[in-house]
Amino acid sequence: MRKHIISAVKGIFFIAVLLLAVGTARSILVPRYVYQNSEIASTSTMEGFYKMKRDTVDVVVLGSSHLANGLIPQVIYDSSGITCYNLSFEQESPMLSYYLLREVLRYQSPQAVIVDLCQAYRYTGDHQINMWGELYRKPMDSMRISQVKRDLVDDLYEKGDIDEKTSYYFPLIRYHSRWKELTEEDFEQLLWKDHYELMGFYPMYYENESGYEPFELTGSKEIEPLDPLMREYCLRIGDICSKEGIKLIFMSTPGGEIGEAEHNAFAELAEETGAYLCDMSERSVYERAGITEPEETFFRPDGDEHMNLGAAVKTSEMMGGILKELGVSGHKDQQWEKTREYYIHMTEDPEYIKKRP
């Protein structure tokens, strides 16, 4: 009996050491996109979502970097009392938003979902899901294994965007040879504190002097059709929201090629799904946000159109008002109460979120 016990203890010890070694190797070899090293902190956003207490998030934001930079959960909470989490990532298309919504519903019971339409038009050429592969891997590597993830991987495989499935469940398989490329930063990240306090928001501090001119509605009936596949996933999102009794808001941020023909396509989609449309390229919505000064506009110096912090604050305050008008009720929650001070520091010091403990 003693020999069996000793063998069992040795076996347990070996497994524990093996799991520790694999976990450490994963932490070093699998890239982590956190506030210290990334413009869009995908890893922190996904892992932070899983740390939220169940059924405490009133509103979830799904979309591309335009909303990751454009909607601030802390400002929405402070201005309306509505709790919000921003699950937006680089180039996040309606296809990924659909699966993320399904993942959200495993942990939260949101009253409303805000979905970005910036990626509803074809953006990446031959990539059917309208995202570059390295970008959808960023949130997927931190996504927990479940039926939702299996369905997403199967969908990617069927559409030809991936040629194997295993590494999407076990990212270390893909990155095991990255040891040749390791830098000091890869080891330092074991000591970094991954920040979740901004709940998916990532600020941009750029200013723009040229301003932005929204379009005027003229009553034109012209429609620029959405990408058919992206439209299909928007409809799927609408079906989920209808079934679950969730208010759906489609949102488009200012800039790009969005004009009246594109707006009409958004409006048609919103009517079909029973969604509220917030198209900030249209003058009345743009002016409602109160963005009046050139430096409070949406453009980075390289011409890539994203909201800076000043515009994001005003847009988030406007969205808080819209949510209240739609009947979304808020509640006081210590998760958002505790992060208020952190948000204030972040607005005062652009390097605050990059600082290491």
Chain segment 180-218, per-residue pLDDT in tens: 565 666 556 666 667 889 999 999 887 766 667 889 999
189, 36 contact by CB (below 8 A): yes
Evaluate whether residue 112 is within a structural domain. yes
Highest mean pLDDT: which of 36-40, 83-87, 293-297, 341-345? 83-87
Q: Assign residue 191 the CATH number of its domain.
A: 3.40.50.1110
Kindly state the average pLDDT of the residues 305-314.
87
Kindly state the average pLDDT of the residues 280-301.
77
Kindly state the average pLDDT of the residues 307-325.
94
Evaluate whether residue 5 is within a structural domain. no
Q: What is the pLDDT of residue 105?
A: 98
Residue 82 has, within 13 A of its CA and on its CB side, a CA count of 31
Share of residues in the chain with pLDDT > 90 (%):
56
Domain span at residue 239?
31-354
Q: Which residues contact 340 (CB under 8 A, 6 or more apart)?
A: 74, 78
Evaluate whether residue 318 is within a structural domain. yes
Evaluate whether residue 89 is within a structural domain. yes
Q: From the CB of residue 302, how many other CB atoms can be counted at a distance below 10 Å?
A: 6
Q: What is the pLDDT of residues 268-289, one digit of tens each?
A: 999 999 999 999 999 999 999 9
* DSSP 8-state code for residue 38: -
> Which pTM was predicted?
0.89
Q: Specify the number of domains making up the chain.
A: 1
Look-up of token digits 């989920």: 240
Would you say residue 113 has pLDDT above 90? yes
Evaluate whether residue 24 is within a structural domain. no
Q: What is the pLDDT of residues 144-190, one digit of tens each?
A: 999 999 999 999 998 877 778 888 888 766 664 554 565 666 556 66
Evaluate whether residue 11 is within a structural domain. no
